């Protein structure tokens, strides 16, 4: 897909709608992006390759859901984004999986969007905070029309941490696509205190765990939504414990 012109507003990557940002892409920013994106890509790929995934628990759940549905909702906590994304992108090589990521529609978000496309992911320009309804619609169209499996962080970057918000459940209900919980554990890692984001040390060992798909009935009242939210939270905590146990066993 071509980049937007210097005088145009940013548009939704998949569906070409204007986003809330109307700032222009100036020459200086274009040069910055042209330099920063390849450097960031190289650093991330180097980091990914330096760490070794020694165990994957529950890979059959991912194989099962890919055999049954054209797309699904991969779900992991915001803190697990680095290697949650890495594992899913790596599975694109030997399956029909197409992974999507929600990235801010702001001009600053263009850096992340270009980087994610270079890493092999599909990009949905939206924000759960500022363009929530549009982002939900874009997620729905990606799932049902384009067979893209867009990643969901149930707690989001703003938290509260480890609490599943209703958006993931409602999206699964509307699209009739399952939620697949995923987590990883690293032998050694830094944890950033403001959001508990996990950054594994270079050359450390990592285990990934995938939980059973969670299907959401089409007919569900508010209480039922809350029950599924609780089930997603439990499944993600269980996946992390399974990954940690697998790491200890390895």
CATH number for the domain harbouring residue 67: 3.40.1130
For residue 228, the surrounding DSSP H or E stretch is: helix 222-249
The verdict on residue 83 lying in a domain is yes
Residues whose CB falls within 8 Å of the CB of residue 243, separated by 6 or more in sequence, listed in order: 55, 57, 183, 184, 185, 207, 208, 209
pLDDT in tens, 26-78: 788 888 889 999 999 999 999 999 999 999 999 999 999 999 999 999 999 99
The verdict on residue 182 lying in a domain is yes
What pLDDT, on the 0 to 100 scale, is given for residue 4?
39
DSSP string, 58-90: -HHHHHHHHHH-S--EEE--GGGHHHHHHHHHH
Reported as a pLDDT band with limits 50, 70 and 90, residue 6 is very low
User: How many structural domains are present in the chain?
Assistant: 1
The verdict on residue 10 lying in a domain is no
The verdict on residue 3 lying in a domain is no
pTM for this prediction:
0.85
The verdict on residue 16 lying in a domain is no
The verdict on residue 45 lying in a domain is yes
Q: Please give the residue range of the domain that contains residue 194.
A: 27-249
The verdict on residue 81 lying in a domain is yes
- Per the document, the length of the chain is 250
pLDDT in tens, 122-181: 998 876 555 556 778 888 999 999 999 999 999 877 778 899 999 899 999 999 999 999
What pLDDT, on the 0 to 100 scale, is given for residue 43?
95
The verdict on residue 46 lying in a domain is yes
């Amino acid at each position: 897909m071509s980049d937007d012109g210097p005088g145009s507003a940013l548009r939704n990557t998949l569906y070409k709608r204007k986003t809330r940002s109307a700032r222009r892409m100036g020459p200086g920013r274009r040069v910055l992006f042209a330099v920063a994106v390849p450097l960031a890509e190289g650093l991330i790929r180097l980091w990914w390759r330096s760490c070794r995934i020694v165990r994957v628990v529950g890979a059959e759940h991912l194989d099962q859901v890919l055999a049954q549905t054209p797309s699904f909702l991969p779900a992991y906590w915001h803190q697990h984004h680095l290697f949650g994304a890495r594992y899913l992108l790596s599975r694109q090589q030997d399956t029909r999986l197409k992974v999507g990521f929600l990235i801010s529609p702001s001009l600053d978000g263009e850096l992340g969007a270009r980087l994610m496309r270079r890493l092999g992911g599909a990009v949905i320009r939206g924000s759960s905070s500022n363009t929530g309804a549009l982002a939900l619609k874009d997620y729905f169209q990606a799932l049902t029309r384009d067979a893209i499996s867009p990643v969901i962080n149930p707690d989001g970057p703003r938290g509260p941490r480890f609490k599943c918000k209703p958006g993931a459940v409602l999206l699964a209900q509307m699209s009739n696509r399952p939620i697949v919980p995923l987590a990883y554990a690293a032998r050694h890692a830094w944890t950033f205190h403001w959001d508990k984001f996990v950054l594994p040390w270079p050359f450390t060992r990592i285990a990934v765990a995938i939980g059973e798909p969670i299907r959401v009935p089409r007919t569900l009242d508010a209480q039922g939504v809350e029950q599924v939210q609780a089930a997603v939270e439990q499944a993600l905590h269980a996946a992390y414990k399974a990954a940690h146990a697998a790491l200890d066993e390895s």
